Amino acid sequence: MTAFRPPLPLRVKTPAAWAETALADPAALLSDHAHCEKKAALTALQLSQAFADAPRASVLLARLAEEELNHYRRVLEALQAFGWTLQPDGGNAYAKALHQQAAKGLLDRLLIAALIEARSCERLWLLERAGTDHPELGSAPWLAFLLELERCEAGHALGYRSLAEERFGAEAGTRLDWWLDREAEVILTLPWRSAIH
Ligand SMILES: [Fe+2]
Ligand SMILES: [Fe+2]
């Protein structure tokens, strides 16, 4: 297995065995991921309101929202292709726990978004690796889709970090360092389930 290099220096590595738990109920996993993509699009749009005066950032966030919306549609289409229905949104305990760590200033919102993208990217990579052992999911187009999502979310993690650095300078790096520890604490407390987080 080639080594994975996360877009941000995450301090806890998800064990490869996580993917087997996630893939135990692929319909639930895919449903959860559809909701994640939808929320990612909404996050990008909400954050764009803080960058209305910054043309480059506005375009970056509009493109990011567009990509997440594209992912959302394609995950819904994948559910349909597998013959599964979208299950109700069970919420995202990971994102919720991160947001509970700090007041919701712009810097923290950008860094939380960057961390969620980075962790998603790591786990999509693990799913893509494990997918070949699951004949029902291991088709080439499906694995190619996971790989595309992984690369895209890596770009989003870097995009959010760059927005934080542009707006907040050195403070962004110091705060990211603090957040990397919080993210590590949060991810270790959460039980594994058929969901990306
Ligand atoms: Fe996405
Ligand atoms: Fe993303």
Model confidence over 157-195: pLDDT tens digits? 999 999 999 999 999 999 999 999 999 999 999 999 999
Confidence of residue 83 (pLDDT cuts 50, 70, 90): very high
Determine, yes or no, domain membership for 196: no
Determine, yes or no, domain membership for 146: yes
- Note the ligand closest to the C-alpha atom of 155: 2
CA of 130 to the centre of ligand 1 (A): 19
**pLDDT reported for residue 183:** 98
In 3D space, the residue among 152, 151, 176, 150 whose CA is nearest the CA of residue 163 turns out to be 176
Domain span at residue 132 reads 18-189
Q: Which CATH number do you get for residue 177?
A: 1.20.1260.10
Determine, yes or no, domain membership for 144: yes
CA of 162 to the centre of ligand 2 (A): 14
CA of 61 to the centre of ligand 2 (A): 11
d(CA 21, CA 41): 26
Question: Is residue 91 left, alpha or beta, with left meaning phi > 0 and alpha meaning psi from -120 to 50?
Answer: left
3-state secondary structure of 161: helix
Determine, yes or no, domain membership for 9: no
Confidence of residue 2 (pLDDT cuts 50, 70, 90): low
Summarize pLDDT for 93-127 with one digit per residue, the tens: 999 999 999 877 999 999 999 999 999 999 999 99
- Note the ligand closest to the C-alpha atom of 148: 1
- Name the burial class of residue 69, with classes exposed (0-12), middle (13-18) and buried (19+) by CB atoms within 10 angstroms of its CB: middle
Determine, yes or no, domain membership for 122: yes
d(CA 140, CA 172): 39
CA of 82 to the centre of ligand 2 (A): 23
CA of 120 to the centre of ligand 1 (A): 9
CA of 174 to the centre of ligand 2 (A): 23
d(CA 161, CA 177): 12
Mean pLDDT of the chain: 93
Query: What's the number of domains the chain is made of?
Result: 1
- Note the ligand closest to the C-alpha atom of 75: 1
Q: Which residue has the higher pLDDT, 188 or 144?
A: 188
d(CA 42, CA 48): 10
d(CA 17, CA 15): 5
**pLDDT reported for residue 194:** 94
Determine, yes or no, domain membership for 13: no
**pLDDT reported for residue 4:** 83
In terms of pTM, does the model score above 0.85?
yes
Determine, yes or no, domain membership for 101: yes
| Token pair 């799913």: residue | 127
DSSP 120: H
